[in-house]
Structure 1
């Protein structure tokens, strides 16, 4: 019997990965959902999944949560700037617990990616590689889901704002990345690195056109300089540090950082990938 664990199991990516494991035939009793907020885990318990509580800041709790785990989907922390300390705890706990495989959610082309977001992923990959643990780096590209909130605002204003120029994004649905993580955990001999990107490669003008198509409302793309875009985001209530990260990410898109012709994601899933249009339709169901 193989025991699978997923961190961040009440979050979007982790929760979807748990569902994917169950859909692929893993018995609920062989799945460990590691959560920070147990009150959010009722649906997991109802499904028969084992729920264990641990925060990335508590190495002892993490070690206990990983006891008896053979294969771990390690979802990267969400607190940018604090990830290295937190991820160090996860790696240490996995080593102590004797986890047989760690599949880590990284970023596309991590070792060459210019985005500010890539730095902590690169360091985490090094932590894992140096630990002696068997690993598989799941280098996820952008989620199409990231554009749902912006699409709502674009429909209202008629304009999608950004700083991505004519750069393309080879995005995919979050659920597809989660399904890929489940597929890797279930492989007898997974590769050390998967560059996971979608089959659609769209620039922001094309993304705006997709929003217009599903909403029936004209939407155009307006490109702004990086700093102007960051300031606009701040003006709309986004905290300055996060606004800077978003603007930096768009600037990376402009130079091709999130474009890719890798077929690793489609190969793992062996089915058509969920389109941007379908992600937007689901995310904006009450908006259009």
Structure 2
């Protein structure tokens, strides 16, 4: 049966109005996540220069955020600011997705090719996903300030040590930590669900960012245990990587980025247009 219908002008427009079919979401298992991680490590070994460069730039950005907070006499915001900065990881890893795609397809690997692909995204839907990430990052910092005001009052701290002492030695500080981490975990899970598939999908396919986010959420909902398990792994790795002045991110960010690409390829199948 034909997918086209007759129109008054006889052009035979597509029955679906020319819309592309939704990407198909496949269920995955924990073993698929492990396989994706192995593939991500392999990509990093094949093209380490690209991964190390992206990781170094990202680590430098995190260090800049923390030092800026200290320079503005707001060192007590260093930890939440650093945690908020890490939320932009999916966007920062776009270049890594392109490296993995080219390794997988055997295409040329060069700085001009990678940067050319990234530059081409400025007029596509992927740039809108950057705004989604930025919005959630702003929400993260807003809730930190709100919780600080609620539990510790409208006050500033002379140093990070003073802030840390207040947080871990008073009931109000401990409550701030508990509630802050719960709210942060919820925001992080929302961001993960919206972006884990959407960024690599938008890089590879010319889709709208709403479709990409819906597909990403569907992928998490279809395989909640392996996907949320991967989210916990990513969170734990990033926390450990930030500890030594963000230097761990130079290695871990590219591995996580390459792995995410292979996870996307396992989760999503793009239907062929008829």
TM range (shorter): under 0.3
Superposition TM-score, scaled by structure 2 size: 0.25
| TM-score in terms of structure 1 length | 0.24
Give the number of the structure with larger relative contact order, counting CA–CA contacts within 8 Å between residues 6 or more apart. Answer: 2
